[in-house]
Amino acid sequence: MAGDPTRATVMTLQDLAGTASRSDVLLILPPALSLTPPSFPDALPEALRGYHQAGAFAIAEAGLATGRRMTTHWQHRASFAARFPCVDLDVDWLLVDEGDILSAAGIMAWTNLALHLIENLHGRPIMLEVARAFVVDPKGREPQSFRPFRPSYAHGDTAIADVQKALQAAPGRDWTVMALADRAAMSDRSFLRRFRAATGLTPTAYLRRLRVARARALLETTRDAVDQVAFAVGYDDAGGFRRAFREIVGLSPTEYRHRFGPQRHTDG
């Protein structure tokens, strides 16, 4: 888009590659629909260097995000970090605004980006009117509310993988490091070192995530009280469960159920 934002000119990538860089252009690249990170034509990175505000992978590919903070879909965190180690990637935010570079964390996050741009260009009252017209929640949401915990067993340490499977099967059990180390036939010290090397987490943090993942499923599918859910996933202290849940998910258990749990329907 170029010029007056109320009279925008839409350009294709082919148009972009054939123009000189301009300061009055707002370039928006749509999210990729593929489950794999996108690849780009050779000419695109050079074309983008005269512009800003494009997709996270495209901006990083063009070398514009070095030392800058960006976000992308949580599923691409590992591949993005490996491909662009000089970018400060933060997938815990749905939208990251660096002034001249904006990035959004997923296909439907374009709505948050659109509202953010409308607010910047026309003010908050207009943005709220648009949000109401399209029935879009204008509040900031965090991707961690949507991101599942998916343990990897592909690290090659079979002893640790066996422990992971035991934890997955019974996250509510009162596990201790000693019991887990015995299962892996290791000393406590060796077990802790190898577990963290394989999973990126301590056993305690890993188990906490498993329990919260199980709690999310219960909150989504049952109407059990929050204290009952806490007990079912292995917490004796409901307060500790609530703190762990909010830390990992970004919402309280009650807030999470309100957004994702079973809805009551009435006749009428």
Same domain, 20 and 127: yes
pLDDT higher than 70, residue 12: no
109 part of a folded domain: yes
Last residue of one domain, picked from the residues 120, 145, 170: 145
136 part of a folded domain: yes
Domain enclosing residue 180, as ranges: 158-260
Q: Scanning the structure block, which residue is given the tokens 């972009």?
A: 16
Distance, CA of 233 to chain centre? 24
Same domain, 129 and 172: no
Q: Look up residue 97 and give its DSSP letter.
A: E
The pLDDT of 239-267, averaged and rounded, is 83
Helix (H, G, I), strand (E, B) or coil at 21: coil
Taking alpha carbons only, the member of 182, 149, 167 closest to residue 234 is: 167
What pLDDT is recorded for position 52?
Answer: 43
Same domain, 80 and 175: no
What pLDDT is recorded for position 225?
Answer: 96
CATH of the domain at 119: 3.40.50.880
Burial class (CB in 10 A: 0-12, 13-18, 19+), 25: middle
4 part of a folded domain: no
CA–CA dist 3, 261 (Å, integer): 45
pLDDT higher than 60, residue 13: no
Verdict on whether the full-model pTM lies above 0.85: no
Last residue of one domain, picked from the residues 105, 121, 145: 145
pLDDT higher than 70, residue 83: yes
- Count of domains for the chain: 2
